[in-house]
Homo-oligomer: A and B are copies of this chain.
Amino acid sequence: MTELHRLSPDARRALRSDLERRYHDFQARGLSLDMTRGKPCAEQLDLSVDMLTCVDANHYTAADGSDCRNYGGLDGIPEAKVLFAQYLEVAPEEVIIGGASSLNMMHDAILSAMVYGAAEGYEPWGRRQVKFLCPSPGYDRHFAICERLGIEMIPVEMGDDGPDMDAVERLAAADEGVVGIWCVPCYSNPTGIVYGDEVVDRLAAMPTAAPDFRIYWDNAYAVHHLTDNPTPLKNILTACKAASHPDRPLIFGSTSKVTFAGAGLAMMAGSVANTTRRKAEMSIQTIGPDKLNQLRHVRFLRDMDGIRAQMRKHAAILKPKFDAVDEILTRELAGKGVASWTKPKGGYFVSLDTLDGCAKEVIARAAKAGVRLTPAGSTYPYKRDPRDRNIRIAPSFPPLEDIVPAMELLAICVQLVSLERLMG
């Protein structure tokens, strides 16, 4: 395959004309495909239908004898704490089981730090201009929380094994205003990379100017592997304890993509000091989360082996979709020097980089032919992709027969826009 910028003017014109013909063919098909949302497909949700009825008139009592239908239990029924402590690789007393939304737990933890301080005796973040380090591309909803709370976001470049740690260390050490970092450490949203051991160790050990610096460790895809030999992620809490920063990480997880996206379990973990503080806040905020849904999860998933078996079923549905994305992008774009994309071993996204300054136009062009992609810039703080090149592809929800034309069209648009840029 020849890189497009090496093509002769004639070859460029011929290619462009061919691509335009294919593009118009797509337009004529009147497609209406949505590749924007990282949500499970119906077939995946079907994997958990037995969970709907496993708590019934004869099964509503938790291991400690408490009636899950009634009030009580702020931080989770015992069996849910045991199972999801294993899931997050912490001790049961280091985990809090919440409601259905881990985003809500993250939001509330940050808002609490803004209003009351991140730890006892520290100034609330809301009293000064605080900043978060934002490995980018990253998760738009993380960035939306910071933007809403007026937390200044400092983008940090993402590499193949995590954020640029030289930059992270420099920024955290230099500025007392830098109080946090967002991390999706396993199958990062959207690049799909897994943080390397050295990155984890450096995050745990680095000196920070802010004594109350926090790592928001959103381990959303902890068990969401597409391969049989997943890359293990180093335990951040253990690493932070070893580095004498036990209160640095706040770990989040959920079963939104294990059982039901709209009715999963959210969880949070951290040092006993951190969980104790959060529980004190939560005791003011609520009487407690839905324990019946906790019981449903434990009865349905049973144990870590049950969770792993469930995730293999998810992988069997998802892998062909991820494979299709890669096959089509490879067939259409490989060697042409106009795009690179990730080949994640888990998670929910493929991240594609175009030539600089092309992403917005590519996405607009695809939309005009009936394929919706996540808006350009979404994966960056303030929705500003400084190089206008990142496109997040979410293959989980659409059926395979939609993914194929959507990716073909995307590849056509990438080439068309790139050619136009190259031809001036």
Contacts and interface: CB of A to CB of B under 8 A. Distances in A.
Interface of A: 37, 39-40, 42, 45, 48-50, 52-53, 55-57, 60, 67-73, 99-101, 103-104, 107-108, 111, 114-115, 126, 141, 144-145, 148-149, 256, 260-263, 281, 284-293
A104 B286 contact: yes
Contacts of A45: 67, 69-70
A55 B52 contact: yes
Contacts of A263: 68-69, 290-293
Contact of A99 (B39, B71, B99): B99
Copies of the polypeptide in the assembly: 2
A260 B290 CA distance: 9
Per CB-CB distance, the 5 closest pairs between chain A and chain B, nearest first, are A49-B57, A101-B286, A45-B69, A263-B292, A104-B286
Contacts of A50: 57
**Which of A148, A261, A287 has the most CB atoms of chain B within a 10 A radius of its CB?**
A287
Given A39-B71, A60-B52, A115-B126, A262 B292 contact: yes
Contact of A111 (B40, B57, B111, B145): B111
B285 A103 contact: yes
Contact of A73 (B52, B141, B262, B287): B262
Given A52-B53, A101-B285, 6 more contacts: A49-B57, A73-B262, A103-B286, A144-B284, A260-B292, A262-B291
Nearest to A149: B115
Contacts of A72: 39, 262
A284 to B, nearest CB: 5
A249 to B, nearest CB: 22
8 contacts: A39-B70, A40-B70, A45-B67, A52-B60, A103-B286, A260-B292, A262-B288, A262-B292
A284 B39 contact: no
A67 B42 contact: yes
A100 B37 contact: no
Given A69-B260, A288-B262, A293-B290, A115 B107 contact: no
B293 A70 contact: no
A149 B281 CA distance: 11
Contacts of A114: 115
Contacts of A256: 71
Contacts of A260: 69-70, 292
Contact of A261 (B70, B108, B115): B70
Contacts of A291: 262-263
A261 B293 contact: no
A225 to B, nearest CB: 21
**Which of A39, A99, A103, A256 has the most CB atoms of chain B within a 10 A radius of its CB?**
A99
Contacts of A101: 285-289
A286 B56 contact: no
